[in-house]
Structure 1
Amino acid sequence: MSETDLSLVLTAHNETLVCGPTMESADLAVAAAREAGFTVQTVVALDKATEATKEWFHQPDFDHWERWEMGEGDLGRVRNAIVPRLSGRNVAFLDADDLFSENWLSRGLQLMAAAEERGERVIAHPEVIITFDGAVGLHQNVAQDDPLFTPHFLYMRNAYDSLCLTPREGHLQVPYVHRDIPNGLSWQDWQFGVQTMARGWKHVLVPDTIIFKRRRDFSLMVESAGRKSLLRSLPEMAIDRIRDLARPGSDQ
């Protein structure tokens, strides 16, 4: 088993100066995790990145990060390609223009370690997601075992964002699907949430943690919503099976 507790992957495509706060946020969160006794691998995944993006991330200030060039051009495919190469038992992702609260990784890893000792398979999410820039909003996540959670909610919208903290095993067991926005199919994190629940993974919250998501005028989420993209048809969402998603530990 790997001796590294966490691999943090920051994915960049066509971002430069806007990543300054992102990198500072990530470094602070990594420092807090290391101070708490965890080991962390840090990787910048330059996925079909522009030359300006590559140049920006190769500045000496970021020499403490590994830089891996990828050619996938898709959130799901780049994650599937990069996860087997990582050394961490757990994996966290960060988009190049988003931000972590400083305690997200340290508290998340503490929760993951406690769950592992109890023999639980969990995927951790921040308590709150705050959107900023192009749109401002606050989303309160709901844990899978919260009385307010119902799997029938998943017929209407995604329950959990893709910026979660997941055991590497979870990503290997449930790879991301590729998006097909022109044909109206997207929402890779939505499908990942459904399929991990169906395979016995429990989605939990890390108290007092926040992820800040920049909402730009044009993004994958904006494009998907504009094209009225749908979740793929999944057996786990059948009307006589969806209730079982609320039962952590039962593999469908």
Structure 2
Amino acid sequence: MSTDLTLVVTAHDETAVCGPTMRSADLAVEAARDRGYVVQTIIGLDAATEPTTAYFHQARFDHWERRILHEGDLGKVRNALLPETEGRYVAFLDADDLFSENWLADAVAALDAAAERGERAVAHPELNVVFDGDRAIHLGIEPGSPLFTPHYLYFRHYYDSLCLAPREAHLEVPYVTRDVPNGLSFQDFQFTIETLASGWRHVVVKDTIIFKRRRDFSLVTESTSRKSVVRSLPPMAIDRIRDLGTFT
């Protein structure tokens, strides 16, 4: 039986906050399986601290596959784990975040529907609810919406790094390595730009949510404090950006 989806939870230095994360992941996986999808589940322990490693080696997580890595980088660890995935689609979740129970099942259905229309697509949750160290709600906007303009990408990313995409998309557009000391970061932002430029449509899945924990220190806060930017990319050139996200 072929695998429809691989869910990868990546962990670094989290412990107790992982409880709600893994509960939300298990509920979402169960909902996807109830919908008839075959799901593979992987925990990627990337340069994990001893407490984090011990936490995830509890017997209650034995129904997850475990992988040990030493990448220390969001893009590198996702690229490194890709050969371990069996699903047509791949979803990622950081070990201190959560997502709604319907996210996996509805996102797979959305991408299957897109494929039936002959579209190559990447899925994002409709809402990004930021909590803990900050409080905010961000609405996902997809190309084709009257609220979408590619010029916004000069300033901000429309989406969070959490997405659900065909395995093919990650093979075609692997994540770049961050270089925060030299002001280069936001690999997920670059992934969005490069996939849009390669003809991948980004869709927002209605009534789905990611709950994003904002910690005092994280990759996002470090990158922001250093005023990091996305690398210079040809699709972002002033005479080309208007075509980003347009499909014929």
Q: Which runs of 4+ in 1 moved over 3 A?
A: none
Are 1:5 and 2:21 counterparts?
Answer: no
Per-residue CA deviations over 1:26-50 (Å, capped at 9, x if unaligned) read 0000000000010100000000111
Q: Distance in 2 between matches of 1:161 and 1:244?
A: 22
CA-CA distance at 1:201 after TM superposition: 0.2
Shift of 1:160: 1.7
Deviation (angstroms), 1:246: 2.4
Partner of 1:137: 136
List per-residue Cα deviations over 1:215-244 (Å, max 9, x = no partner).
001010000000000111001100111111
Aligned partner of 1:201 in structure 2 is 200
In structure 2, the residue matched to 1:160 is 159
Give the structure 2 partner of residue 147 of structure 1: 146
Aligned length: 248
Q: Distance in 2 between matches of 1:226 and 1:40?
A: 38
2:135 maps to a residue whose letter is V
* SS in structure 2 at match of 1:4: coil
| Amino acid paired to 2:194 | Q
Distance in 1 separating the partners of 2:34 and 2:241: 41
RMSD value, Cα: 1.0
How many angstroms apart in 2 are the aligned matches of 1:96 and 1:163?
A: 12
Q: Give identity over the alignment, percent.
A: 64
Match of 1:127 in 2: 126
SS in structure 1 at match of 2:22: helix
* Residue 48 of structure 1: aligned partner: 47
CA distance in 1, matches of 2:160, 2:74: 13
Which residue does the alignment assign to 1:186? 185
How do residues 1-252 of structure 1 correspond to structure 2 at under 5 angstroms? 3-248=2-247
Shift of 1:248: 2.9
Q: TM-score, normalised by structure 1?
A: 0.97
> 1:54: how far off?
0.8
CA offset at residue 209 of structure 1? 0.4
Tell me, yes or no, if the aligned pair for 1:198 and 1:236 is still in contact at 8 Å.
yes
Alpha-carbon distance in structure 2 between the residues aligned to 1:95 and 1:246: 27
Structure 1 residue 84: Cα displacement: 2.1
Q: How far apart are the structure 1 equivalents of 2:243 and 2:84?
A: 33
Displacement of 1:76 after TM fit?
A: 0.3
How far does the alpha carbon of each residue in 1:125-178 deviate from its partner, in whole angstroms, 9 at most, with x for none?
Answer: 000000000101100110111111010111111122110010000000001011
Q: CA shift at 1:3, angstroms?
A: 1.3
**Unmatched tracts of structure 2, length 5 or more:** none
Distance in 2 separating the partners of 1:72 and 1:248: 36
Contact 1:84–1:172 (8 Å) recurs in 2: no
| Whole-angstrom distance in 2 between the partners of 1:246 and 1:202 | 7
